[in-house]
Amino acid sequence: MKSGPRVLLAGRMMPALEARLRADYELASLVEQADSGAFLAAQGGTFDALVTSAVYGASAERIAQLPNLKMISSFGVGLDRLDLAAARARGIAVGYTPDVLNDCVADLGIALMLDVARRVSEADRFVRRGAWAVPGQASFPLGRKVSRARLGIVGLGRIGQTIAKRATGFEMDIRYHSRRPVADAPWRHEPALVELARWADYLIVITAGGAGTRHLVNTEVLDALGPDGFLINVARGSVVDEAALVKALVERRIAGAGLDVFDSEPNVPPALFELENVVLLPHVASATRETRQAMADRVVDNLAAFFAGRALLSAAPLP
């Protein structure tokens, strides 16, 4: 039996990541326990570290169940489900995986924009159901142009800036909204989101999630985007008022939407299944072999750095 640090896994992770953690640490997985509450009551005090993800998070309650916890290593960049205040109050270090996923999340944001504008998924469905080959069939409806169109980016952080660079290749006219202008960014800052939406043909949402951005995109913003505007969300479902979005789509008050994230995943509002002008993805923006491997490496490296007494490679900003 290993005598090193004891690590608790909050949920199922990539098998290769679980195997690496098992090789290096004494590992227990919460999902393998028949009664996780009883398990934590009996053994919660034995764990030095928690490996979790942006989806599983670490609530104040979970942190309290682990009275000797010293380190949280999270797979993902989203911090909205990690109770950083509770971690800070206990002096617990928190590692996460920013930057290594910028490329793939940005790529997917661009992919959703192209898909919904050029009706890629809709055209695929058209071909698969045999509609193309039906004699006398009306031609497939026209899409909308992306190159040289106006792109509004909501949140010009690590990923937002990567999206902007991609969009520059499409010669898009780019502006962005965030609470503070980004120093040296070549794109125009728009302090009022509703004005950015009014101006934009495409609005890509890539802010942080959590209480500070909840329902930032509301009815007023959607109506400013208008019947020719498209909404793309690769941030968090909570950033968009989902009921307002569904209503705007059903009533054709916006042109379409590309969504990787939802309010209550994996539940997607069924009304969206009926709409051709909506592309729905199961939260896969970072899901490539290369990026998921890099994220797993960072989870392991943050943990190893902590137990070697070194600075984390990427420490979450504590409040």
Q: What's the min distance (Å) between Cβ of 36 and ligand NDP?
A: 26
Q: What are the beta bridge partners of residue 230?
A: 202, 256
- Compute how many other C-beta atoms are within 10 angstroms of the C-beta atom of residue 249: 23
Binding to ligand NDP by residue 100, rule CB under 6 A?
no
Binding to ligand NDP by residue 121, rule CB under 6 A?
no
Question: Which residue among the candidates 6, 90, 158, 283 is catalytic per the annotation?
Answer: 283
Question: Which residue among the candidates 32, 265, 290, 310 is catalytic per the annotation?
Answer: 265
- Look at the block and give the residue holding tokens 């609530």: 59
User: Does residue 227 have a cis peptide bond before it, meaning omega lies within 30 degrees of 0?
Assistant: no
Distance, CA of 256 to CA of 280 (rounded, Å):
11
Query: Is the torsion defined by CA of 242, 243, 247, 248 positive or negative?
Result: negative
Of the residues 30, 72, 156, 200, which one makes contact with ligand NDP according to CB under 6 A: 156
Of the residues 180, 184, 266, 308, which one makes contact with ligand NDP according to CB under 6 A: 180
Binding window for ligand NDP (CB under 6 A); candidates: 12-20, 43-51, 123-131, 280-288: 280-288
Q: What's the min distance (Å) between Cβ of 220 and ligand NDP?
A: 15
Binding window for ligand NDP (CB under 6 A); candidates: 167-175, 228-236, 242-250, 295-303: 228-236
236 is catalytic: yes
Q: What's the min distance (Å) between Cβ of 203 and ligand NDP?
A: 12
Binding to ligand NDP by residue 282, rule CB under 6 A?
no
Q: What are the beta bridge partners of residue 217?
A: 240
Please, is 232 exposed, middle or buried when counting C-beta atoms within 10 Å of its C-beta (0-12, 13-18, 19+)? buried
The 69-88 site mask, x for binding ligand NDP (CB under 6 A), equals --------xx----------
Report yes or no: 49 and 72 within 8 Å, Cβ to Cβ. Answer: yes
| Tokens describing residue 274 | 């009926």
Distance, CA of 173 to CA of 146 (rounded, Å):
10
Binding to ligand NDP by residue 291, rule CB under 6 A?
no
12 is catalytic: no
In the region spanning residues 14 to 53, those forming contacts with ligand NDP, defined by CB under 6 A, are: none
Q: What's the min distance (Å) between Cβ of 10 and ligand NDP?
A: 17
Binding to ligand NDP by residue 272, rule CB under 6 A?
no
Q: How many residues are there in the chain?
A: 319
DSSP string for 137-193: PPPPPP----TT-EEEEE--SHHHHHHHHHHHHTT-EEEEE-SSPPTT-SSEE-S-H
265 is catalytic: yes
Distance, CA of 260 to CA of 282 (rounded, Å):
6
Of the residues 235, 254, 259, 296, which one makes contact with ligand NDP according to CB under 6 A: 235
Closest residue to ligand NDP: CB criterion = 157
Binding to ligand NDP by residue 316, rule CB under 6 A?
no
- Compute how many other C-beta atoms are within 10 angstroms of the C-beta atom of residue 22: 15
Binding to ligand NDP by residue 254, rule CB under 6 A?
no
Q: In what order do the strands lie in the sheet with 93-95?
A: 26-29, 6-9, 49-53, 71-75, 93-95
Q: What's the min distance (Å) between Cβ of 259 and ligand NDP?
A: 10
Q: What's the min distance (Å) between Cβ of 192 and ligand NDP?
A: 11
Binding to ligand NDP by residue 257, rule CB under 6 A?
no
* Angle between helix 289-307 and 15-24 (nearest 10): 20
Question: Which residue among the candidates 236, 242, 292, 298 is catalytic per the annotation?
Answer: 236
- Active-site annotation, residues: 236, 265, 283
Q: Site residues (CB under 6 A) for ligand NDP? A: 77-78, 98, 101, 105, 155-160, 178-180, 206-209, 212-213, 216, 234-236, 260-261, 283, 285-286
